[in-house]
Amino acid sequence: MGERVESILGSSPQALLLLLLLGASSSDALAQYNIGTGGAMTLYQESCAGCHGPSLSGGSASSLIDDKWINGGSDEAITRSIRDGVSGTAMPAWQALSAEQIRSLVILIREQRESDRLKALEQANSVQAGAVFKSELHAFTLEPVAEMTGILWGMDFLPDGSLLSTQLDGTLWRVVNGKRTAISGTPDVLFKSQGGLLDVKVHSRPGDGDWVYLTYSEKSGQGAMTAVVRGKIKDDRWIEQQNIFRVPVEQHINTAYHYGSRLAIAGDYLFFSVGDRGRQEMAQDLSRPNGKIHRLRLDGSVPEDNPFRGEGEYASVWSYGHRNPQGMDAHPVTGTIWSSEHGPRGGDEVNHIQRGRNYGWPIATYGMNYDGTAMTATPSMPGVEEPARYWTPSISPGGIAFYMGDKFPNWKGNLFVGGQGARELHRLTLDGTTVTSDETVMSGQGRVRDVASGPDGYLYVLLNNPEPAASGIYRLVPAPERASLKKEDKRAK
């Protein structure tokens, strides 16, 4: 809910008042996505409800949410049906509607198809540790690693097997055998809304020790901005801190959301994301650091082959046109970077990040404004990279991880994506850089803030459940197939 409310603060006061009034009568899940409200629903009620019914479920004309279509159910096909009409039926051509209005109706149809699932999210507030989950390829249970309070954000592993986890209030935890210890001396953070201590990434090299990289919201008199430091941990103290990335104070922004921020390491390079900070137009401005994915050497120096090194440009920028990337990982075989990104109302993305490319925000998106109006007439345009996968309505993607362990052999090489608002864990299969399938392997266990492939071969998830009262770190453990089948048989009865 915080993501949505903070984001619409940049809208007009009238739009904000409308959203608050509408959201007050909605369920928590629907309010988070603002489903069924705003300009798109108003347009539908005025133009379409007389035939297709007030809830899109049908009237004198057919339902729009049963996934049965005369001329195809793709976004493009539905757009053509609205714009040009459907021959042989009473569906007229709505050529008086703008391309943006038609696009908003397409998104609305997608949202309404998912409304029942979103309503069910209200009940998704308890972890079922020990329960058996059966996915297409593996059955598993959730095993507690550490139970905590507060809003957990990121996690990674030290070479000794202990686990590091960040908490938004500024605490860095070290977890050993379920016992947690706070690391003293970590950077001061601006703990407000989406700001605080964000991601953590460990890099170990013989002779150089274990460097721990942190991202956080750095406060100044002008506001705040995402910063990156690295340091070491000795006797549970943070020492030898080095600044890796800091933004001049004059470019800090006085908002409390869209910091990003995730870290990934590929070879000798550090990648990190900085969200648009609520200034969406700056995502296309190469003289600003926000709305970008950056690439530096591990010591913070700028590589010579970075794409933008001209005057007035941030030499660290690797790609641009990003809204709020809160997941990132390097493919363990190819070293290529992948990222997940929050859209607005719909249009959440997973992207294959390439050198110097534009990922579209805010000039091309599969989502729409929170007030129910389309941002763009079409979701794509020349010169903008298409997402490898997108979700409408939103799942609010969090951390991502390629699984490379041996406990779940049929998952090896798959990309796991945490869904925060959707309370889901998605498994994406890839053919090169093409996403070929998307399976929800787990749902209803809480907000999946981060995912990690552990050195012990297990898959780890960081759950805020419900946020911020209780959180925890869990690992997925293979379940006996017979136990899984027995549970399925019991449900079938």
Give the residue numbers annotated as catalytic, written as ranges.
258
Q: Residues 6 or more apart from 335 whose CB is under 8 A from it?
A: 266, 267
Which H/E stretch holds residue 2? helix 2-8
What lies within 8 Å, CB to CB, of 433 at 6+ separation is 336, 352, 388
| CA 20, chain centre distance (Å) | 24
Reference 86, options 74, 70, 64, 108; nearest CA is 70
Number of other CB atoms surrounding residue 219 within 10 Å? 17
Neighbours of 66 (CB within 10 A): 11
Within 8 A by CB and 6+ apart from 475, the residues are 142, 143, 145, 454, 458, 459, 460, 461
User: What are the structure tokens assigned to 24, written together?
Assistant: 């007050």
User: How many whole angstroms separate alpha carbon 160 and alpha carbon 171?
Assistant: 21
Strand order in the sheet with 389-391: 325-330, 337-341, 348-353, 389-391
What is each CA distance from 401 to 173, 327, 349, 415, 429, in whole angstroms?
20, 8, 15, 6, 12
CA gap 451, 149 in Å, rounded: 18
Strand runs labelled E in 262-391: 263-266, 269-274, 292-297, 317-320, 325-330, 337-341, 348-353, 389-391
* Pairwise CA distance, residues 217 & 255, whole Å: 11
Helix H or strand E segment including 475: strand 471-478
- Encoding tokens for residue 44? 């539908």
Q: How far apart are CA 464 and CA 79, in angstroms?
A: 38
Phi-psi region of 458 (alpha: psi -120 to 50; beta: other; left: phi over 0): beta
